[in-house]
Chain A
Amino acid sequence: MGIAFENQVAAPQLPSRPAYGDNQTGTHLPERAGSLNGVIVPEQPGKNAIEVRGVRKVFGTGENQVAALDTVSVSIRENEFFTLLGPSGCGKTTLLRLIAGFDFPTAGEILLHGQDIAPLPPFKRPVNTVFQSYALFPHMTVAQNIGFGLEMLGKPKAEIEARVAQMLKLVKMEALKARRTSQISGGQQQRVALARALAPQPKVLLLDEPLSALDYKLRKEMQIELKRLQHETGITFIFVTHDQEEALTMSDRIAVMSAGKILQVGTPRDIYDRPAERFVADFIGETNFLPGTVVSKHAGVATVKFASNATIAAGYPEGFDPTGEVTLVVRPEHADLVPDPVKGTIAGTLANIVYFGTDTHYHVKLDGGGENFIVRHQNSRSSPVTYATGAKVGIQFEEDAARVLKD
C-alpha cells in the first residue's frame, strides 16, 4: 500500500498530459498524412487504434504446419489499456509480433488507424515494443538507449535531448542517465525499456510480458507505474500476459486467448463475472464446476436440477442454448456455507480449511461426489461462525452466482 501512496504523491510533479503530447513543440509524430523518415503516419485518427481482421499465422510447412493464430479478429480502441491474456502457446505473443512487424501474417489485415500495416517492416510502423527481456542496448548509456528511436527518426539533436530529459523524468531515472544498462537493477532496466519505447511517441505501445522478470513487490509497483504512464501519455497499450490477476487489475479490456483463438473480449468485470466459455471461467480466477440437468429455460435463465433434486437459476451466454446434462460454474466467493446441511442448496462434508490471511477457503466434499467445492470467505474480526474439518455443512448460492457454460 505504501508503494501506491508514494506514486500518488509523486504524480503532480510529473509533466502534465498536454505537455507530453504537445504538438507545438513539434515533437509529436505529425498528424498529417505522409511519412517521417520512412515511418508511416496514419491519415485519419479513427476510433480504433488497431484493427486485426481475419489474421492467420501458420508456422512450418506440410505436415508440420501449426496455426499459431487461427483467423483472429479484434479491435483495440484508442487510449485503451488492452490485454492479451492466455496460457503459453495460445498465440498472444505471435499476435503482438505481427502488430510489431517482427513476423508477417499468413492471411488477414492489421489496420493502424485504418491503414493496413501488415506488410510493413517494423522500422516503418509507428508502434514500439517493450520486450520481456527489455533488450536494452548494452553498449549504450541509459540516455542513449532512450534517445535511440528519436535518433533513428532523424530528429534534431536538441529535440532528442529535450525528449530524453522528459522521459527520464517520467520514469524517474534522471540520476542514472549516464549509467550503462548493465549497471542498473532489473526494475530500473524495466523503466528504461519503457522510456525508450515511449520516447518516439508511438501510436501504440506493445508490452510483451514486461513484468514477468520482476519479483512480486516490484511487479506490483510497476503495475501501478504502467497504469500511470498509460494515463499520462494517452497512448494505446497492448499488454501481453499469462497472469490473470495482472490482467484483471490493469486492463480496460481483456482478450482471452487459447489455442490460437480469441475466446472472449471484454472488461475485466465482464470476463470474470460473465465468462463466455468454460475455458475462460477456468483460466480466470478460481471456479467450481458442478454437473446438473436443465429442466426449463426462460429469458436467458435456465433452471438446473442437481442430483440432490435441488434446483438453481443459472444465466447463460447469448447464442448458447443449454440442454440436458450441463456444467454449472460458480465462483468460490459467490457461495456461502451454512451450518445446517438441510438449509443449503447442496450439502457435503468439510474436507479442508485453508487460511490465506485476507480470506479462508473451505473445501467441501460434496455428498454427490465429484470435485471438491471451494467456498471463499473474506475474513473479518466478527466472522460469526467457525467451522471444523469433518463437519457436515450446506452450501448456499448468491443470486446470479451460477452460470451454464459451453464446455
Chain B
Amino acid sequence: MAEPRAMDIKDQPGFRSIAVICLLVLYVPVLILMIFSLNSGSLVTHWEGVTLGWYGSAFRNEEFHAAAKNTLIISVTATIVSTICATLAAIGMTRVKPWRGIAAAFMVINLPLMVPEIITAVATLSFFALIAGTLGLNFGIGNLILAHTVFCIPFAYMPIRARLEDMDLTLEYAAADLYATPWNAFRRITLPLLVPGIMSGAALAFIVSFDDFTITQLVAGPGQTTLPLYIWNQIRRPMTPEINAISTILLMVSILFVSVSFLIARRRAK
C-alpha cells in the first residue's frame, strides 16, 4: 500500500497523452493506407465505398507478379546465404578461444548496420560498375542477391549470436564427456538448440531484404524491379488504391514473418 509510486513513469504527468500521440503518428497513416485499399473509387484521397476489387487487379497485374517473383528470388537466396554465413560467424566468434582481431571481426560483421545505407548503395553500385567495366562481369540478378546477402548478414548474426551466448556451455562439455566428437556435439546439441536463433535471424534477414529500397534502387538493372521499386514507380504516376492493396499485401507478409520469428524465439526460450 505504502509502496512509493512516484518513480513509475506511467504516473508522470503527460505520459499517457504523449504515448497516445506517438502511437497515432506511427500507426494512423498505415491504417489509412490499409483502409483506402478497400476504396471503390479510383482516388487514394476520396472515399467512395468498399470493394476488394483493387486486390483482384493487383493479383492480375503482371508487372506486380514479375516484381514479386524478383523480390522472392532475391530475398530467399539472400536469406539462406546470409543466415549460413551469420551462423558460421557467430560460432567463430563465441565458440573459440579469443583470437587476435576478434574485436575487428565483430566490427566488420556489423559494419553494414553503421554505414549509412546510401553510402553502401553507392559503393556497391561503383563496385559492380568496376567489375563490369574491367572484367566484363555482370551477374544479372546475382548482383542484387550479392548486395542483399552482405547487408543481411549483421541482421541474421545478432539473434544467432545472442542465442549462442545464452546457451549453457556446460551442455557442450556434457556432450564431449559422453563421447561426442566436436562434430557430433555440434550436430546433436549445439545446432538443435540454436535453431530458434537461426530462425529469428533468417526472418529478420528476409524482412530487411524484402523491403530494401535504397541499395536495390541503385544496383538493380533493367528487368530487376522488386516490389519496393515497383511501388516507387507506381506512385510517380497518378495513384490508384491498387498501390494501397499491394502495400497492404507487403505489410501482411512482413507482419507474418516478424510474428513467426517472435513466437519461435519466445517458445524456445521457455
Q: In the complex, which of the residues A123, A138, A182, A200 contacts B176, with contact meaning CB atoms closer than 8 Å?
A: A123
Smallest beta-carbon distance A126→chain B, Å: 9
Convert A283-297 into 0s and 1s, putting 1 for each residue whose CB lies closer than 8 angstroms to a CB of B: 000000000000000
| A196–B270 alpha-carbon span in the complex (Å) | 23
With A137-B189, A138-B193, A139-B192 already in contact, the answer to whether A149 and B171 are too (CB < 8 A) is no
Question: A102 contacts the other chain (Cβ, under 8 Å)?
Answer: yes
Size range of the chain A interface in the assembly: 20 to 34
| A200–B175 alpha-carbon span in the complex (Å) | 13
With A137-B189, A138-B193 already in contact, the answer to whether A196 and B173 are too (CB < 8 A) is no
Convert A104-124 into 0s and 1s, putting 1 for each residue whose CB lies closer than 8 angstroms to a CB of B: 000000000000000001111
In chain B between 160 and 180, which residues have their CB closer than 8 angstroms to a CB of chain A? 168, 170-171, 173-180
Asked if B178 contacts A133 (CB within 8 A), the reply is: no
Smallest beta-carbon distance B172→chain A, Å: 9
| A197–B177 alpha-carbon span in the complex (Å) | 9
Asked if B174 contacts A123 (CB within 8 A), the reply is: no
Asked if B189 contacts A122 (CB within 8 A), the reply is: no
Extra contacts, 12 of them, besides A102-B177, A123-B176 (Cβ < 8 A), are A102-B176, A122-B177, A123-B185, A129-B173, A133-B168, A136-B174, A137-B171, A149-B178, A152-B178, A152-B179, A152-B181, A200-B179
Asked if B193 contacts A135 (CB within 8 A), the reply is: no
Asked if A200 contacts B173 (CB within 8 A), the reply is: no
Please name all residues of chain A whose beta carbon is closer than 8 Å to the beta carbon of B138 when the two chains form the complex: none
- What is the interface of chain B, defined by CB distance below 8 A to chain A? 168, 170-171, 173-182, 184-185, 188-189, 192-193, 270
Please name all residues of chain B whose beta carbon is closer than 8 Å to the beta carbon of A306 when the two chains form the complex: none
**30 A-B residue pairings within 8 Å (CB atoms):** A100-B173, A100-B177, A101-B176, A102-B173, A102-B176, A102-B177, A122-B173, A123-B176, A123-B179, A123-B180, A123-B185, A124-B179, A128-B177, A129-B174, A131-B170, A135-B168, A135-B170, A137-B171, A137-B174, A137-B189, A138-B171, A138-B193, A139-B192, A148-B178, A149-B178, A152-B179, A182-B270, A197-B177, A197-B178, A200-B179
| A139–B193 alpha-carbon span in the complex (Å) | 7
Please name all residues of chain A whose beta carbon is closer than 8 Å to the beta carbon of B182 when the two chains form the complex: 123
| A200–B188 alpha-carbon span in the complex (Å) | 18
Please name all residues of chain A whose beta carbon is closer than 8 Å to the beta carbon of B168 when the two chains form the complex: 133, 135
Nearest-CB residue, chain B, relative to A199: B178
Convert A83-103 into 0s and 1s, putting 1 for each residue whose CB lies closer than 8 angstroms to a CB of B: 000000000000000001110
With A38-B181, A137-B189, A139-B192 already in contact, the answer to whether A121 and B170 are too (CB < 8 A) is no
Asked if B173 contacts A152 (CB within 8 A), the reply is: no
From B178, B184, B189, B270, residue with most partner A Cβ within 10 Å: B178
Across the A-B interface, the 3 shortest Cβ-Cβ residue pairs: A149-B178, A152-B179, A135-B174
Please name all residues of chain B whose beta carbon is closer than 8 Å to the beta carbon of A128 when the two chains form the complex: 177-178
In chain A between 187 and 237, which residues have their CB closer than 8 angstroms to a CB of chain B? 196-197, 200
Nearest-CB residue, chain B, relative to A138: B193
Nearest-CB residue, chain A, relative to B184: A152
| A133–B174 alpha-carbon span in the complex (Å) | 11
| A127–B177 alpha-carbon span in the complex (Å) | 7
Question: A72 contacts the other chain (Cβ, under 8 Å)?
Answer: no
Asked if A122 contacts B176 (CB within 8 A), the reply is: yes
Q: In the complex, which of the residues A124, A131, A139, A182 contacts B173, with contact meaning CB atoms closer than 8 Å?
A: A131
| A121–B180 alpha-carbon span in the complex (Å) | 10
Question: A16 contacts the other chain (Cβ, under 8 Å)?
Answer: no
Asked if B176 contacts A148 (CB within 8 A), the reply is: no
| A65–B170 alpha-carbon span in the complex (Å) | 25
| A122–B173 alpha-carbon span in the complex (Å) | 8
Please name all residues of chain B whose beta carbon is closer than 8 Å to the beta carbon of A129 when the two chains form the complex: 173-174, 177
Please name all residues of chain B whose beta carbon is closer than 8 Å to the beta carbon of A123 when the two chains form the complex: 176-182, 185
Question: A37 contacts the other chain (Cβ, under 8 Å)?
Answer: yes
Question: A153 contacts the other chain (Cβ, under 8 Å)?
Answer: yes
Please name all residues of chain B whose beta carbon is closer than 8 Å to the beta carbon of A136 when the two chains form the complex: 174
With A133-B168, A133-B170 already in contact, the answer to whether A196 and B178 are too (CB < 8 A) is yes
Asked if A148 contacts B175 (CB within 8 A), the reply is: yes
| A185–B239 alpha-carbon span in the complex (Å) | 62
Please name all residues of chain B whose beta carbon is closer than 8 Å to the beta carbon of A131 when the two chains form the complex: 170, 173-174
Please name all residues of chain B whose beta carbon is closer than 8 Å to the beta carbon of A39 when the two chains form the complex: 179
Smallest beta-carbon distance A401→chain B, Å: 45
Nearest-CB residue, chain B, relative to A182: B270
Smallest beta-carbon distance A122→chain B, Å: 4
Convert A129-155 into 0s and 1s, putting 1 for each residue whose CB lies closer than 8 angstroms to a CB of B: 101010111110000000011001100
Asked if B180 contacts A152 (CB within 8 A), the reply is: yes
Nearest-CB residue, chain B, relative to A139: B192
Convert A247-268 into 0s and 1s, putting 1 for each residue whose CB lies closer than 8 angstroms to a CB of B: 0000000000000000000000
Smallest beta-carbon distance B239→chain A, Å: 50
| A182–B182 alpha-carbon span in the complex (Å) | 25
| A182–B269 alpha-carbon span in the complex (Å) | 12
Please name all residues of chain B whose beta carbon is closer than 8 Å to the beta carbon of A124 when the two chains form the complex: 179
Nearest-CB residue, chain A, relative to B185: A123
Q: In the complex, which of the residues B171, B178, B193, B270 contacts A200, with contact meaning CB atoms closer than 8 Å?
A: B178
Smallest beta-carbon distance A189→chain B, Å: 13
Smallest beta-carbon distance B92→chain A, Å: 20
Please name all residues of chain A whose beta carbon is closer than 8 Å to the beta carbon of B178 when the two chains form the complex: 123, 128, 148-149, 152, 196-197, 200
Nearest-CB residue, chain A, relative to B171: A135
Please name all residues of chain B whose beta carbon is closer than 8 Å to the beta carbon of A102 when the two chains form the complex: 173, 176-177
Asked if B193 contacts A121 (CB within 8 A), the reply is: no
| A137–B176 alpha-carbon span in the complex (Å) | 12
| A152–B188 alpha-carbon span in the complex (Å) | 10
With A38-B181, A152-B184 already in contact, the answer to whether A135 and B176 are too (CB < 8 A) is no
